[in-house]
Structure 1
Amino acid sequence: MTMCGRLNQFSKLPSLSLPGRALRIEQRKKQREDKKAAMKAVNNICPTEYADVVTLSAGELRCERMRFGLIPAWATGTKAEVWRKFMLTFNARCETVFDLASYRGPILKQRCLIPVRGWHEWPASGSPFFIHRADDQPLLLAGIWDVWESPDAADEESGAVVTSMSVITTPPGRYMAKFHDRSPLVLEGEAASAWLDPGLDKAQVQALLRPSRDEQLEAYRVSTAVNNPRNKSEEVWQAVGPPVPQAGDTPVEIEGDDSPQLKLF
Protein backbone atom coordinates (compact mmCIF):
# COMPACT_ATOMS: atom_id res chain seq x y z
CA MET A 1 0.00 0.00 0.00
CA THR A 2 1.17 3.52 -0.76
CA MET A 3 0.91 6.41 1.62
CA CYS A 4 2.10 10.02 1.41
CA GLY A 5 0.17 11.25 -1.62
CA ARG A 6 -1.25 14.68 -0.77
CA LEU A 7 1.05 17.45 0.43
CA ASN A 8 0.13 20.88 1.79
CA GLN A 9 2.71 23.66 1.91
CA PHE A 10 2.78 27.37 2.77
CA SER A 11 2.12 30.32 0.48
CA LYS A 12 5.61 31.54 1.35
CA LEU A 13 8.53 29.26 2.12
CA PRO A 14 8.77 29.24 5.93
CA SER A 15 11.92 30.28 7.76
CA LEU A 16 14.02 27.21 8.41
CA SER A 17 16.72 26.76 11.00
CA LEU A 18 19.06 23.85 10.44
CA PRO A 19 22.16 23.39 12.61
CA GLY A 20 25.30 24.49 10.80
CA ARG A 21 23.51 25.63 7.64
CA ALA A 22 23.03 29.06 6.14
CA LEU A 23 19.55 30.39 6.93
CA ARG A 24 19.09 32.28 3.65
CA ILE A 25 17.24 30.14 1.17
CA GLU A 26 17.82 31.01 -2.45
CA GLN A 27 15.07 30.38 -4.97
CA ARG A 28 16.78 28.56 -7.80
CA LYS A 29 15.56 29.15 -11.33
CA LYS A 30 16.42 26.53 -13.92
CA GLN A 31 16.55 26.69 -17.68
CA ARG A 32 14.48 24.36 -19.87
CA GLU A 33 12.46 23.04 -16.92
CA ASP A 34 9.01 21.64 -17.67
CA LYS A 35 6.55 24.52 -17.77
CA LYS A 36 4.31 22.73 -15.28
CA ALA A 37 6.84 23.81 -12.62
CA ALA A 38 5.43 27.33 -12.87
CA MET A 39 1.95 26.12 -11.84
CA LYS A 40 2.29 26.66 -8.11
CA ALA A 41 -0.08 24.79 -5.82
CA VAL A 42 0.00 25.19 -2.03
CA ASN A 43 -2.84 22.96 -0.86
CA ASN A 44 -3.69 19.39 -1.88
CA ILE A 45 -0.54 18.88 -3.96
CA CYS A 46 -1.04 15.57 -5.76
CA PRO A 47 1.39 13.20 -7.46
CA THR A 48 2.79 14.62 -10.75
CA GLU A 49 2.20 18.21 -9.52
CA TYR A 50 5.07 20.43 -8.40
CA ALA A 51 6.11 21.31 -4.84
CA ASP A 52 8.79 23.47 -3.21
CA VAL A 53 11.79 21.41 -2.15
CA VAL A 54 14.94 22.36 -0.20
CA THR A 55 18.35 21.14 -1.32
CA LEU A 56 21.90 21.89 -0.26
CA SER A 57 24.40 23.27 -2.77
CA ALA A 58 27.85 24.67 -1.98
CA GLY A 59 26.93 24.81 1.70
CA GLU A 60 23.79 26.90 1.21
CA LEU A 61 20.14 25.92 1.23
CA ARG A 62 18.26 26.32 -2.02
CA CYS A 63 14.59 26.09 -2.85
CA GLU A 64 13.62 24.33 -6.07
CA ARG A 65 10.35 23.36 -7.67
CA MET A 66 10.15 19.60 -8.20
CA ARG A 67 7.61 17.18 -9.60
CA PHE A 68 6.02 15.02 -6.89
CA GLY A 69 6.97 11.60 -8.22
CA LEU A 70 10.56 10.84 -9.13
CA ILE A 71 11.55 10.27 -12.76
CA PRO A 72 15.04 8.69 -12.77
CA ALA A 73 17.74 10.22 -14.96
CA TRP A 74 18.08 6.96 -16.91
CA ALA A 75 14.41 6.75 -17.96
CA THR A 76 13.87 6.39 -21.71
CA GLY A 77 11.12 7.78 -23.92
CA THR A 78 9.45 11.10 -24.58
CA LYS A 79 8.36 13.35 -21.74
CA ALA A 80 4.74 12.22 -22.06
CA GLU A 81 5.83 8.58 -21.94
CA VAL A 82 7.99 8.86 -18.82
CA TRP A 83 5.42 11.12 -17.14
CA ARG A 84 2.87 8.32 -17.39
CA LYS A 85 5.33 5.54 -16.59
CA PHE A 86 6.48 7.15 -13.33
CA MET A 87 3.15 8.23 -11.85
CA LEU A 88 3.48 6.03 -8.74
CA THR A 89 7.00 6.94 -7.61
CA PHE A 90 5.86 9.65 -5.17
CA ASN A 91 6.91 7.49 -2.19
CA ALA A 92 10.13 5.54 -1.64
CA ARG A 93 10.01 2.87 1.06
CA CYS A 94 13.02 2.92 3.38
CA GLU A 95 13.27 -0.88 3.24
CA THR A 96 13.88 -0.95 -0.53
CA VAL A 97 15.24 2.51 -1.36
CA PHE A 98 18.82 1.18 -1.78
CA ASP A 99 17.67 -1.68 -4.01
CA LEU A 100 15.21 -0.25 -6.54
CA ALA A 101 16.78 1.13 -9.72
CA SER A 102 14.84 4.40 -9.60
CA TYR A 103 16.04 5.26 -6.10
CA ARG A 104 19.41 3.67 -5.36
CA GLY A 105 21.42 6.46 -7.02
CA PRO A 106 19.55 9.46 -5.54
CA ILE A 107 19.44 8.02 -1.99
CA LEU A 108 23.24 8.16 -1.85
CA LYS A 109 23.86 11.63 -3.29
CA GLN A 110 20.63 13.52 -3.99
CA ARG A 111 18.61 13.92 -0.82
CA CYS A 112 16.25 16.78 -0.08
CA LEU A 113 13.75 18.13 2.44
CA ILE A 114 10.15 18.96 1.61
CA PRO A 115 8.75 21.63 3.99
CA VAL A 116 5.03 21.05 4.55
CA ARG A 117 2.15 22.30 6.62
CA GLY A 118 0.99 18.70 6.74
CA TRP A 119 -0.44 15.82 4.71
CA HIS A 120 -3.66 13.85 4.43
CA GLU A 121 -4.47 10.32 5.40
CA TRP A 122 -7.55 8.19 4.73
CA PRO A 123 -8.27 5.47 7.33
CA ALA A 124 -11.30 4.86 5.06
CA SER A 125 -12.22 6.43 1.74
CA GLY A 126 -14.92 8.68 3.16
CA SER A 127 -12.86 9.86 6.14
CA PRO A 128 -9.90 12.09 5.27
CA PHE A 129 -7.71 13.30 8.12
CA PHE A 130 -5.13 16.08 8.11
CA ILE A 131 -1.81 15.37 9.85
CA HIS A 132 0.22 18.34 11.04
CA ARG A 133 2.25 19.67 13.95
CA ALA A 134 0.04 20.64 16.87
CA ASP A 135 1.83 24.02 17.01
CA ASP A 136 1.41 24.53 13.23
CA GLN A 137 5.16 24.80 12.66
CA PRO A 138 6.57 23.41 9.40
CA LEU A 139 7.36 19.73 9.09
CA LEU A 140 10.39 18.62 7.09
CA LEU A 141 9.84 15.43 5.11
CA ALA A 142 12.86 13.48 3.90
CA GLY A 143 13.03 13.06 0.16
CA ILE A 144 15.25 12.09 -2.74
CA TRP A 145 15.44 13.79 -6.12
CA ASP A 146 16.71 13.40 -9.67
CA VAL A 147 16.86 15.27 -12.98
CA TRP A 148 15.66 13.79 -16.26
CA GLU A 149 16.12 15.34 -19.70
CA SER A 150 14.09 14.43 -22.76
CA PRO A 151 16.02 13.36 -25.86
CA ASP A 152 13.06 14.37 -28.06
CA ALA A 153 13.40 17.78 -29.70
CA ALA A 154 9.60 18.05 -29.70
CA ASP A 155 9.69 18.41 -25.89
CA GLU A 156 11.79 21.59 -25.95
CA GLU A 157 8.83 23.93 -26.34
CA SER A 158 7.14 22.70 -23.14
CA GLY A 159 10.44 22.25 -21.27
CA ALA A 160 12.65 19.22 -21.81
CA VAL A 161 13.95 18.92 -18.24
CA VAL A 162 11.98 17.42 -15.34
CA THR A 163 13.36 17.76 -11.80
CA SER A 164 11.44 15.42 -9.52
CA MET A 165 11.36 13.96 -6.02
CA SER A 166 9.91 11.20 -3.87
CA VAL A 167 9.06 11.25 -0.15
CA ILE A 168 10.75 8.59 1.99
CA THR A 169 8.36 6.47 4.05
CA THR A 170 8.99 4.23 7.07
CA PRO A 171 6.89 2.09 9.40
CA PRO A 172 4.72 4.39 11.53
CA GLY A 173 5.33 5.69 15.00
CA ARG A 174 2.76 4.99 17.70
CA TYR A 175 0.47 7.91 16.82
CA MET A 176 0.66 7.53 13.05
CA ALA A 177 -0.20 3.84 13.41
CA LYS A 178 -3.72 5.00 14.30
CA PHE A 179 -4.14 6.04 10.65
CA HIS A 180 -1.86 3.95 8.44
CA ASP A 181 0.82 1.26 8.37
CA ARG A 182 3.32 3.71 6.82
CA SER A 183 4.50 7.23 7.63
CA PRO A 184 6.58 9.83 5.83
CA LEU A 185 10.01 10.25 7.40
CA VAL A 186 9.90 13.52 9.35
CA LEU A 187 13.32 14.92 10.27
CA GLU A 188 14.27 17.58 12.80
CA GLY A 189 17.41 19.40 13.94
CA GLU A 190 20.70 17.60 13.38
CA ALA A 191 19.02 14.75 11.55
CA ALA A 192 17.45 17.14 9.01
CA SER A 193 20.77 18.88 8.49
CA ALA A 194 22.61 15.57 8.10
CA TRP A 195 20.07 14.32 5.55
CA LEU A 196 21.17 17.04 3.13
CA ASP A 197 24.87 16.20 3.46
CA PRO A 198 26.01 14.52 0.21
CA GLY A 199 29.09 13.17 1.98
CA LEU A 200 27.23 10.57 4.05
CA ASP A 201 27.99 6.94 3.31
CA LYS A 202 25.33 4.23 3.03
CA ALA A 203 25.52 3.24 6.69
CA GLN A 204 25.11 6.85 7.82
CA VAL A 205 22.06 7.31 5.62
CA GLN A 206 20.56 4.04 6.84
CA ALA A 207 20.94 5.25 10.42
CA LEU A 208 18.51 8.10 9.61
CA LEU A 209 15.87 5.77 8.17
CA ARG A 210 14.00 5.18 11.40
CA PRO A 211 10.34 5.80 12.28
CA SER A 212 9.84 9.42 13.24
CA ARG A 213 9.00 10.62 16.71
CA ASP A 214 5.38 11.67 16.36
CA GLU A 215 4.50 13.11 19.75
CA GLN A 216 4.37 16.56 18.15
CA LEU A 217 1.81 15.51 15.54
CA GLU A 218 -1.92 16.10 15.60
CA ALA A 219 -4.62 14.76 13.27
CA TYR A 220 -8.22 15.79 12.78
CA ARG A 221 -10.94 14.93 10.31
CA VAL A 222 -11.47 17.23 7.31
CA SER A 223 -14.04 17.58 4.55
CA THR A 224 -14.15 15.08 1.70
CA ALA A 225 -13.51 18.12 -0.51
CA VAL A 226 -9.87 17.03 -0.38
CA ASN A 227 -10.79 13.95 -2.41
CA ASN A 228 -11.07 16.22 -5.46
CA PRO A 229 -7.49 16.80 -6.68
CA ARG A 230 -8.62 20.06 -8.34
CA ASN A 231 -9.58 21.56 -4.99
CA LYS A 232 -6.61 23.71 -3.92
CA SER A 233 -8.44 25.81 -1.32
CA GLU A 234 -7.68 25.94 2.42
CA GLU A 235 -10.89 23.96 2.94
CA VAL A 236 -8.88 20.77 2.37
CA TRP A 237 -7.08 21.12 5.73
CA GLN A 238 -9.70 22.88 7.86
CA ALA A 239 -11.04 20.77 10.72
CA VAL A 240 -14.56 19.35 10.75
CA GLY A 241 -13.94 17.30 13.90
CA PRO A 242 -11.85 17.35 17.08
CA PRO A 243 -8.19 16.26 17.11
CA VAL A 244 -7.47 12.58 17.62
CA PRO A 245 -5.78 12.36 21.05
CA GLN A 246 -2.21 11.20 21.35
CA ALA A 247 -3.11 8.78 24.14
CA GLY A 248 -3.86 5.17 23.32
CA ASP A 249 -2.84 2.78 20.55
CA THR A 250 -6.19 1.91 18.97
CA PRO A 251 -6.46 2.61 15.23
CA VAL A 252 -9.02 5.22 14.19
CA GLU A 253 -12.39 3.67 13.45
CA ILE A 254 -14.97 5.37 11.27
CA GLU A 255 -18.51 4.32 12.14
CA GLY A 256 -20.75 3.54 9.19
CA ASP A 257 -17.98 3.67 6.57
CA ASP A 258 -17.50 0.24 5.06
CA SER A 259 -16.27 1.47 1.67
CA PRO A 260 -12.90 0.32 0.28
CA GLN A 261 -9.89 1.99 1.82
CA LEU A 262 -8.09 4.72 -0.10
CA LYS A 263 -4.40 4.65 0.80
CA LEU A 264 -2.35 7.58 -0.41
CA PHE A 265 1.03 7.19 1.37
Structure 2
Amino acid sequence: MCGRLNQFANIPALSLAGKKLHIERRKKKKDEDRKSEAQVINNICPTDYADVLTMEGDEIGIERMRFGLVPVWAKGSKAEVAKKFALTFNARCESVFELASYRGPILRQRCLIPVRGWHEWPDRTTPYFIHRINDAPLLLAAIWDVWESPYPEDFESGAVVTSMSVVTTPPGRYMAKFHDRSPLILEGESALAWMQPGMQADDLRALFKPYESEHLEAHRVSTAANQARNKSEEVLRPIAPPVPQAGDEPVKVEDDSNPQLKLF
Protein backbone atom coordinates (compact mmCIF):
# COMPACT_ATOMS: atom_id res chain seq x y z
CA MET A 1 0.00 0.00 0.00
CA CYS A 2 1.06 3.58 -0.53
CA GLY A 3 -1.24 5.94 1.32
CA ARG A 4 1.04 8.82 2.40
CA LEU A 5 3.33 10.67 0.01
CA ASN A 6 6.04 13.24 0.71
CA GLN A 7 7.37 15.64 -1.90
CA PHE A 8 9.80 18.53 -2.29
CA ALA A 9 8.97 22.22 -1.96
CA ASN A 10 10.46 22.55 -5.45
CA ILE A 11 10.87 19.58 -7.77
CA PRO A 12 14.64 18.94 -8.06
CA ALA A 13 16.35 18.71 -11.44
CA LEU A 14 15.43 15.37 -12.99
CA SER A 15 17.19 13.25 -15.58
CA LEU A 16 15.81 10.16 -17.28
CA ALA A 17 17.89 7.82 -19.42
CA GLY A 18 20.73 10.35 -19.31
CA LYS A 19 18.56 13.25 -20.49
CA LYS A 20 17.87 16.28 -18.34
CA LEU A 21 14.17 17.07 -18.23
CA HIS A 22 12.88 20.58 -18.75
CA ILE A 23 9.68 20.68 -16.75
CA GLU A 24 7.20 23.55 -16.65
CA ARG A 25 4.01 23.87 -14.67
CA ARG A 26 0.94 23.52 -16.85
CA LYS A 27 -1.83 26.11 -16.86
CA LYS A 28 -4.69 25.32 -14.53
CA LYS A 29 -7.79 23.90 -16.12
CA LYS A 30 -10.81 26.14 -16.19
CA ASP A 31 -12.98 25.58 -13.10
CA GLU A 32 -10.30 23.42 -11.41
CA ASP A 33 -11.02 22.36 -7.83
CA ARG A 34 -9.89 25.21 -5.56
CA LYS A 35 -8.29 22.73 -3.20
CA SER A 36 -5.59 22.16 -5.82
CA GLU A 37 -4.25 25.67 -5.15
CA ALA A 38 -2.82 24.60 -1.78
CA GLN A 39 0.59 22.94 -1.99
CA VAL A 40 1.06 20.08 0.46
CA ILE A 41 4.59 18.74 0.81
CA ASN A 42 4.63 16.42 3.82
CA ASN A 43 2.19 13.65 4.72
CA ILE A 44 0.12 13.95 1.54
CA CYS A 45 -2.98 11.88 2.30
CA PRO A 46 -5.82 10.67 0.09
CA THR A 47 -7.93 13.69 -1.04
CA ASP A 48 -4.87 15.99 -0.69
CA TYR A 49 -3.28 17.26 -3.89
CA ALA A 50 0.21 16.30 -5.11
CA ASP A 51 2.44 17.47 -7.97
CA VAL A 52 2.48 15.02 -10.88
CA LEU A 53 4.44 14.73 -14.15
CA THR A 54 2.48 14.21 -17.36
CA MET A 55 3.44 14.14 -21.03
CA GLU A 56 1.75 16.07 -23.84
CA GLY A 57 3.36 15.46 -27.20
CA ASP A 58 7.08 15.44 -26.40
CA GLU A 59 6.76 17.87 -23.49
CA ILE A 60 6.77 16.83 -19.85
CA GLY A 61 4.87 19.17 -17.57
CA ILE A 62 3.84 19.30 -13.95
CA GLU A 63 0.32 19.71 -12.62
CA ARG A 64 -1.46 19.15 -9.35
CA MET A 65 -3.79 16.18 -8.90
CA ARG A 66 -6.00 14.83 -6.17
CA PHE A 67 -4.58 11.72 -4.48
CA GLY A 68 -7.39 9.23 -5.07
CA LEU A 69 -8.74 8.74 -8.57
CA VAL A 70 -12.28 9.83 -9.45
CA PRO A 71 -13.20 8.29 -12.83
CA VAL A 72 -14.64 10.46 -15.57
CA TRP A 73 -17.93 8.51 -15.50
CA ALA A 74 -18.61 8.93 -11.75
CA LYS A 75 -22.12 10.15 -10.91
CA GLY A 76 -22.97 12.57 -8.13
CA SER A 77 -21.78 15.79 -6.53
CA LYS A 78 -18.19 16.38 -5.40
CA ALA A 79 -19.08 15.34 -1.87
CA GLU A 80 -20.84 12.19 -3.09
CA VAL A 81 -18.06 10.99 -5.41
CA ALA A 82 -15.47 11.75 -2.72
CA LYS A 83 -17.22 9.20 -0.50
CA LYS A 84 -17.77 6.67 -3.29
CA PHE A 85 -14.11 6.79 -4.36
CA ALA A 86 -12.40 7.14 -1.01
CA LEU A 87 -10.22 4.04 -1.54
CA THR A 88 -8.93 4.59 -5.08
CA PHE A 89 -5.56 6.06 -4.07
CA ASN A 90 -3.83 2.76 -5.02
CA ALA A 91 -4.36 0.64 -8.14
CA ARG A 92 -3.10 -2.95 -7.89
CA CYS A 93 -1.13 -3.97 -10.98
CA GLU A 94 -2.85 -7.38 -10.97
CA SER A 95 -6.30 -5.85 -11.53
CA VAL A 96 -5.62 -2.44 -13.07
CA PHE A 97 -6.75 -3.59 -16.55
CA GLU A 98 -9.97 -5.07 -15.20
CA LEU A 99 -11.51 -2.60 -12.74
CA ALA A 100 -13.83 -0.02 -14.27
CA SER A 101 -12.16 2.93 -12.54
CA TYR A 102 -8.70 2.08 -13.86
CA ARG A 103 -8.93 0.22 -17.17
CA GLY A 104 -9.32 3.39 -19.25
CA PRO A 105 -6.63 5.49 -17.54
CA ILE A 106 -4.02 2.70 -17.53
CA LEU A 107 -4.12 2.61 -21.33
CA ARG A 108 -4.45 6.34 -22.00
CA GLN A 109 -3.52 8.47 -18.99
CA ARG A 110 -0.34 7.54 -17.15
CA CYS A 111 1.85 9.83 -15.08
CA LEU A 112 4.80 9.86 -12.68
CA ILE A 113 4.79 11.26 -9.16
CA PRO A 114 8.18 12.59 -7.98
CA VAL A 115 8.44 11.94 -4.25
CA ARG A 116 10.95 12.33 -1.48
CA GLY A 117 9.50 9.13 -0.05
CA TRP A 118 6.41 7.55 1.47
CA HIS A 119 5.22 6.03 4.75
CA GLU A 120 4.33 2.46 5.66
CA TRP A 121 2.88 1.01 8.85
CA PRO A 122 4.07 -2.57 9.53
CA ASP A 123 1.71 -2.88 12.50
CA ARG A 124 -0.93 -0.27 11.55
CA THR A 125 0.22 2.14 14.29
CA THR A 126 4.01 2.53 13.94
CA PRO A 127 5.06 4.59 10.90
CA TYR A 128 8.25 4.18 8.87
CA PHE A 129 9.47 6.61 6.25
CA ILE A 130 10.93 5.01 3.09
CA HIS A 131 13.26 7.03 0.87
CA ARG A 132 16.55 6.98 -1.02
CA ILE A 133 19.64 7.18 1.16
CA ASN A 134 20.69 10.39 -0.62
CA ASP A 135 17.12 11.76 -0.66
CA ALA A 136 17.09 11.86 -4.47
CA PRO A 137 13.58 11.80 -5.99
CA LEU A 138 11.78 8.52 -6.54
CA LEU A 139 9.32 8.31 -9.43
CA LEU A 140 6.09 6.49 -8.65
CA ALA A 141 4.03 5.19 -11.56
CA ALA A 142 0.44 6.38 -11.50
CA ILE A 143 -2.69 6.79 -13.60
CA TRP A 144 -5.00 9.78 -13.77
CA ASP A 145 -8.42 10.97 -14.89
CA VAL A 146 -10.52 14.15 -15.07
CA TRP A 147 -14.04 14.39 -13.66
CA GLU A 148 -16.44 17.33 -13.73
CA SER A 149 -19.44 17.95 -11.53
CA PRO A 150 -22.65 19.08 -13.25
CA TYR A 151 -24.11 20.38 -9.99
CA PRO A 152 -24.34 24.18 -9.45
CA GLU A 153 -23.44 23.82 -5.77
CA ASP A 154 -19.95 22.68 -6.84
CA PHE A 155 -19.23 25.53 -9.26
CA GLU A 156 -17.91 27.99 -6.67
CA SER A 157 -15.37 25.53 -5.24
CA GLY A 158 -14.35 24.33 -8.71
CA ALA A 159 -16.28 21.65 -10.57
CA VAL A 160 -13.27 19.96 -12.25
CA VAL A 161 -11.28 17.36 -10.33
CA THR A 162 -8.07 15.97 -11.85
CA SER A 163 -7.05 12.95 -9.82
CA MET A 164 -4.60 10.08 -9.74
CA SER A 165 -3.91 6.68 -8.23
CA VAL A 166 -0.50 5.13 -7.49
CA VAL A 167 0.04 1.74 -9.14
CA THR A 168 1.25 -0.91 -6.68
CA THR A 169 3.05 -4.24 -7.04
CA PRO A 170 4.14 -7.00 -4.69
CA PRO A 171 7.10 -5.75 -2.64
CA GLY A 172 10.79 -6.18 -3.34
CA ARG A 173 12.87 -7.93 -0.70
CA TYR A 174 13.57 -4.82 1.38
CA MET A 175 10.06 -3.41 1.11
CA ALA A 176 8.62 -6.76 2.25
CA LYS A 177 9.98 -5.92 5.70
CA PHE A 178 7.27 -3.25 5.98
CA HIS A 179 4.27 -4.21 3.85
CA ASP A 180 2.95 -6.77 1.37
CA ARG A 181 2.53 -4.07 -1.32
CA SER A 182 4.84 -1.42 -2.74
CA PRO A 183 4.43 1.49 -5.15
CA LEU A 184 5.65 0.79 -8.67
CA ILE A 185 8.93 2.72 -8.88
CA LEU A 186 10.35 3.36 -12.35
CA GLU A 187 13.70 4.66 -13.53
CA GLY A 188 15.42 5.60 -16.80
CA GLU A 189 13.92 4.27 -20.01
CA SER A 190 11.13 2.50 -18.11
CA ALA A 191 9.99 5.79 -16.58
CA LEU A 192 9.97 7.49 -19.98
CA ALA A 193 8.12 4.57 -21.55
CA TRP A 194 5.43 4.76 -18.87
CA MET A 195 4.33 8.20 -20.04
CA GLN A 196 4.52 7.47 -23.76
CA PRO A 197 1.19 7.24 -25.63
CA GLY A 198 0.33 4.09 -27.53
CA MET A 199 1.74 1.62 -25.02
CA GLN A 200 -0.10 -1.71 -25.19
CA ALA A 201 -1.24 -3.76 -22.21
CA ASP A 202 1.56 -6.30 -22.58
CA ASP A 203 4.16 -3.52 -22.79
CA LEU A 204 2.84 -2.04 -19.57
CA ARG A 205 2.65 -5.39 -17.79
CA ALA A 206 6.36 -5.85 -18.54
CA LEU A 207 7.03 -2.83 -16.31
CA PHE A 208 5.12 -4.26 -13.33
CA LYS A 209 8.15 -5.42 -11.37
CA PRO A 210 8.86 -5.20 -7.63
CA TYR A 211 11.48 -2.53 -6.97
CA GLU A 212 14.85 -3.74 -5.75
CA SER A 213 17.52 -1.24 -4.72
CA GLU A 214 20.31 -1.16 -2.17
CA HIS A 215 19.78 2.61 -2.05
CA LEU A 216 16.37 2.39 -0.38
CA GLU A 217 16.31 3.19 3.32
CA ALA A 218 13.56 3.16 5.94
CA HIS A 219 13.55 4.56 9.44
CA ARG A 220 10.98 4.74 12.16
CA VAL A 221 9.33 8.13 12.65
CA SER A 222 7.05 9.72 15.20
CA THR A 223 3.42 8.67 15.43
CA ALA A 224 2.75 12.29 14.48
CA ALA A 225 2.70 10.86 10.96
CA ASN A 226 -0.49 9.00 11.87
CA GLN A 227 -2.37 12.29 11.99
CA ALA A 228 -3.52 13.36 8.52
CA ARG A 229 -3.59 16.99 9.63
CA ASN A 230 0.12 16.98 10.53
CA LYS A 231 1.98 18.36 7.51
CA SER A 232 5.22 19.30 9.29
CA GLU A 233 8.76 17.93 8.85
CA GLU A 234 8.18 16.02 12.08
CA VAL A 235 6.55 13.23 10.07
CA LEU A 236 9.91 12.49 8.39
CA ARG A 237 12.28 12.88 11.36
CA PRO A 238 14.05 9.63 12.39
CA ILE A 239 13.54 8.38 15.94
CA ALA A 240 15.55 5.18 15.43
CA PRO A 241 18.43 4.02 13.21
CA PRO A 242 17.66 2.93 9.64
CA VAL A 243 16.40 -0.62 9.12
CA PRO A 244 19.32 -2.55 7.57
CA GLN A 245 19.05 -4.00 4.09
CA ALA A 246 20.32 -7.39 5.28
CA GLY A 247 17.86 -10.13 6.18
CA ASP A 248 14.39 -11.04 5.02
CA GLU A 249 12.40 -10.90 8.24
CA PRO A 250 9.56 -8.37 8.59
CA VAL A 251 10.20 -5.45 10.91
CA LYS A 252 9.33 -6.14 14.53
CA VAL A 253 8.27 -3.04 16.41
CA GLU A 254 9.61 -3.00 19.94
CA ASP A 255 7.37 -1.67 22.68
CA ASP A 256 9.32 1.09 24.35
CA SER A 257 8.18 4.30 25.94
CA ASN A 258 10.93 6.49 24.50
CA PRO A 259 12.11 5.28 21.08
CA GLN A 260 14.18 8.47 20.65
CA LEU A 261 16.75 7.02 23.03
CA LYS A 262 17.60 4.43 20.39
CA LEU A 263 19.43 7.12 18.43
CA PHE A 264 22.09 7.46 21.11
Fold conserved between structures, TM > 0.5 = yes
Q: Which amino acid aligns with 2:50?
A: A
Query: Which residue does the alignment assign to 2:260?
Result: none
Q: How does 1:192-231 map to 2 (within 5 A)?
A: 192-231=191-230
Measured in 2, the distance between the counterparts of 1:129 and 1:42 equals: 17
Aligned to 2:262: none
**Displacement of 1:20 after TM fit?**
8.0
Does 2:158 correspond to 1:162? no
Query: 1:153 deviation in Å?
Result: 2.3
Separation in 2, partners of 1:127, 1:225:
10
Counterpart check, 1:9 vs 2:7: yes
CA distance in 2, matches of 1:155, 1:6: 27
Q: 1:31 to 1:20 in 2, by over 3 A?
A: farther
**2:259 matched residue in structure 1:** none
Give the Cα separation in 2 of the matches to 1:139 and 1:22.
15
Query: Does the 8 Å contact 1:141/1:186 carry over to 2?
Result: yes
Name stretches of at least 5 consecutive residues in structure 2 with no aligned partner. Answer: 257-264
1:58-137 map, 5 Å: 58-137=57-136
After superposition, the C-alpha distances for 1:169-204 in whole angstroms (9 at most, x for unaligned) are 000000000001000001000110100011111110
CA distance in structure 2 between the partners assigned to 1:206 and 1:52 by the alignment: 25
Q: Distance in 2 between matches of 1:167 and 1:146?
A: 12
Gaps of 5+ in 1: 258-265
Contact 2:177/2:250 (CA < 8 Å) preserved in 1? yes
More deviation, 92-101/200-209: 200-209
How far the C-alpha of 1:58 sits from its partner, in A, is 1.5
Q: May I ask how many residue pairs the two structures share in their alignment?
A: 255
Call closer, same or farther: CA 1:21–1:163 in 2, change over 3 Å: farther
Please tell me whether the aligned partners of residues 115 and 138 of structure 2 are also in contact (alpha carbons under 8 angstroms).
Answer: yes
Match of 1:149 in 2: 148
CA shift, 1:125, in A, is 3.1
Distance 1:22 1:186 in 2: 19
Contact 2:122/2:251 (<8 A) preserved: yes
Contact 1:22 1:59 in 2 (8 A): no
Distance in 1 of aligned mates of 2:246 and 2:55: 37
Please identify runs of 4+ aligned residues in structure 1 that moved more than 6 A.
none
Q: Which amino acid aligns with 2:2?
A: C
**Contact 1:22–1:61 under 8 Å retained in 2:** no
For 1:24-46, what per-residue CA distance to the aligned partner results, in whole angstroms no more than 9, with x for missing partners?
11101221110000111100000
- Whether the aligned pair in 2 keeps the contact of 1:21 and 1:193 (CA below 8 Å) is no
Match of 1:245 in 2: 244
- Determine if contact 2:67/2:164 at 8 Å carries over to the other structure: yes
| Compared CA separation, residues 247 and 20, structure 1 to 2 (3 A) | closer
Higher relative contact order (CA 8 A, sep 6+): 1
Tell whether the 8 Å contact from 2:170 to 2:210 is kept in structure 1 after alignment. yes
d(CA) in 2 for partners of 1:224, 1:126: 7
- Calculate percent identity across the aligned residue pairs: 68
Amino acid in the other structure paired with 1:121:
E
Contact 2:92 2:168 in 1 (8 A): yes
2:38 is equivalent to residue 26 of structure 1: no
Q: Secondary structure at the match of 2:150?
A: coil
Please say if residues 143 and 168 of structure 1, whose CA atoms lie closer than 8 Å, have aligned partners that are also in contact. yes
Q: Normalising by structure 1, what TM-score?
A: 0.93
TM-score of the pair, normalised by structure 2: 0.94
- Cα RMSD for the two superposed structures: 1.3
CA contact (8 A) 1:92 1:169 kept: yes
Counterpart of 1:61, as a letter, is: I
3-state secondary structure, aligned to 2:55: strand
SS of 1:255's partner is coil
Alignment-mate amino acid for residue 214 of structure 1? S
